[in-house]
C-alpha cells in the first residue's frame, strides 16, 4: 500500500472514530487548551504507530490503547510539572463555592471523585461509561475479564466512599 493510500485510510478511520480521542482527552484533561494539545499528541502517536496496526483487534480497541497510553504519559508529565510549580510557589486559598443547582453539583463531585482514581481505574470507568463490555475493557486495558469485574467493584466502593466524604 502506498503512503498516500495509507494516509487516506488512516484519515477515514480517524474521522469515523475520533470520538474516542475526544473522550480520552476529556477524561484526562480539565483545561481546554491542554485537552487540544493532548488530542493532537494522540493523533500524532496514532499516525506514528498506524503501520504497526495488524488488525488483531478492532480498530477502536487499538485506538483506545494508544490514546490511553498517551494520556497516561501526559498525565505523568503534567503531575511532575505541577509538583515542581507548587513546590516553588505558595498560594492562599481564596476559592468560593459557586451557586449551581444540585444536579450540577453532584456531577462535579462525581468528576472530582473520578479524578482521584488512579490512571487504570479512570480508564476502566471511562470505558464502562462508554458501555463497553467487560471483554472489550479487558482487551483494551490488557487485563482479564474477571479482573475488570473485580476492579469495577472496587472502583464503585472507592467512589462511594469519596462521595460520602464530600
Residues of the chain with CATH 1.10.1740.10: 1-91
Residues of the chain with CATH 1.10.10.10: 96-166
Residue 61 has pLDDT above 70, yes or no: yes
Residue 4 has pLDDT above 90, yes or no: no
Name the pLDDT band for 13 (thresholds 50, 70, 90). Answer: very high
Name the pLDDT band for 85 (thresholds 50, 70, 90). Answer: low
Q: Judge residue 93's burial from the number of C-beta atoms within 10 Å of its C-beta, 0-12 exposed, 13-18 middle, 19 or more buried.
A: exposed
CA–CA–CA angle 55, 137, 146 (5° rounding): 120
pTM of the predicted structure, to 2 decimals: 0.58
- CATH number for the region 96-166 comes to 1.10.10.10
Q: Which of 26-30, 43-47, 56-60 has the highest mean pLDDT?
A: 43-47
What integer is the mean pLDDT of 149-160? 92
Q: What grid cell was written down for 73?
A: 504519559
CA end-to-end span of the chain: 56
Residue 67 has pLDDT above 90, yes or no: yes
Architecture, CATH, for domain 1-91: Orthogonal Bundle (1.10)
Query: Residue 98 — φ and ψ, nearest 5°?
Result: -80, 155
Alpha carbon 158 to its chain centroid, in Å, reads 18
Q: What is the DSSP string of 26-53?
A: HHH--SHHHHHHHHHHHHHHHHHHHTT-
Amino acid at each position: 500500500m502506498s503512503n498516500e493510500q495509507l494516509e487516506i485510510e488512516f484519515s477515514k478511520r480517524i474521522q469515523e472514530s475520533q470520538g474516542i480521542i475526544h473522550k480520552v482527552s476529556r477524561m484526562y484533561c480539565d483545561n481546554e487548551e491542554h485537552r487540544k494539545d493532548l488530542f493532537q499528541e494522540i493523533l500524532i502517536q496514532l499516525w506514528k504507530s498506524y503501520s504497526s496496526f495488524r488488525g488483531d483487534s478492532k480498530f477502536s480497541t487499538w485506538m483506545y490503547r494508544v490514546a490511553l497510553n498517551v494520556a497516561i504519559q501526559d498525565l505523568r508529565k503534567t503531575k511532575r510539572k505541577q509538583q515542581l510549580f507548587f513546590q516553588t510557589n505558595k498560594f492562599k486559598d481564596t476559592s468560593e463555592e459557586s451557586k449551581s443547582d444540585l444536579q450540577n453539583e453532584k456531577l462535579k463531585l462525581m468528576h472530582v471523585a473520578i479524578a482521584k482514581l488512579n490512571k487504570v481505574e479512570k480508564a476502566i470507568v471511562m470505558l464502562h461509561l462508554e458501555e463497553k463490555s467487560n471483554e472489550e475493557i479487558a482487551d483494551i486495558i490488557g487485563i482479564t475479564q474477571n479482573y475488570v469485574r473485580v476492579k469495577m467493584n472496587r472502583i464503585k466502593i472507592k467512589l462511594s466512599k469519596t462521595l460520602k466524604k464530600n
